Chains A and B, each alone.
Chain A
Amino acid sequence: EDQVTQSPEALRLQEGESSSLNCSYTVSGLRGLFWYRQDPGKGPEFLFTLYSAGEEKEKERLKATLTKKESFLHITAPKPEDSATYLCAVPAGSSSNTGKLIFGQGTTLQVKP
């Protein structure tokens, strides 16, 4: 069964304290892994797509990496405005489209000044 698991569920950091969020997946034939950021009361906002093991993407203080079993979202020197829930998702099953997505439950990050 296709599955996505994120850890930790919640993470509190001091401003400037770097850390990593984990997304483990079990899917038959990975066809992309997506990272999203979600602010309270808002829809998820797309951050990155990773397609193959070894791939890395960066945006400001965020860097996403991918292995054959998991993805990491590294946050370097975070600021309070990075506080949000971070979600990862993978296309389900053998479909080559992104019509059916499976989301992890998310990691809620709080960065204190």
Chain B
Amino acid sequence: EAQVTQNPRYLITVTGKKLTVTCSQNMNHEYMSWYRQDPGLGLRQIYYSMNVEVTDKGDVPEGYKVSRKEKRNFPLILESPSPNQTSLYFCASSAKGKPQHFGDGTRLSIL
């Protein structure tokens, strides 16, 4: 089954404790993205990647890092999380010129 898998689905952690949210896709897609979704602000793109070792900033990249060492994986790293990064996060992937497929989300709470 074609899917985008995020882990963990839920995480409660504390300020400053480094965390990584993993994302994996099994569709051999070139493009992958990370979004955050907040009430009243909608979906905002954090980072995106057009292929292995090719990444670029979205609209809200501050406080986040990404890497794309393999085509199927695109982890999101929060080196020093802060409460304003509490949000619902989505990973997505697509082939070039095609619509994005989304994962089921990671609900992150930073205390």
Contact = CB atoms under 8 A, between A and B. Distances in A.
B97 A97 contact: yes
Chain A binding surface, main DSSP class: loop
Interface residues of A, number: 23
A101 B100 CA distance: 9
Given A103-B42, A106-B42, A45 B96 contact: no
Chain B binding surface, main DSSP class: strand
Contact of A43 (B31, B48, B56, B102): B102
Nearest to B9: A41
Nearest to A105: B42
A99 B59 CA distance: 12
B45 interface: yes
B49 interface: yes
B99 A97 contact: no
Given A98-B94, A99-B48, A105 B104 contact: no
23 contacts: A32-B97, A34-B100, A36-B102, A43-B90, A43-B105, A44-B90, A45-B102, A46-B100, A49-B98, A49-B99, A89-B43, A96-B97, A97-B31, A97-B50, A98-B96, A98-B98, A99-B56, A100-B48, A100-B58, A101-B33, A103-B43, A105-B41, A106-B42
Interface of A: 32, 34, 36, 41-46, 49, 87, 89, 96-106
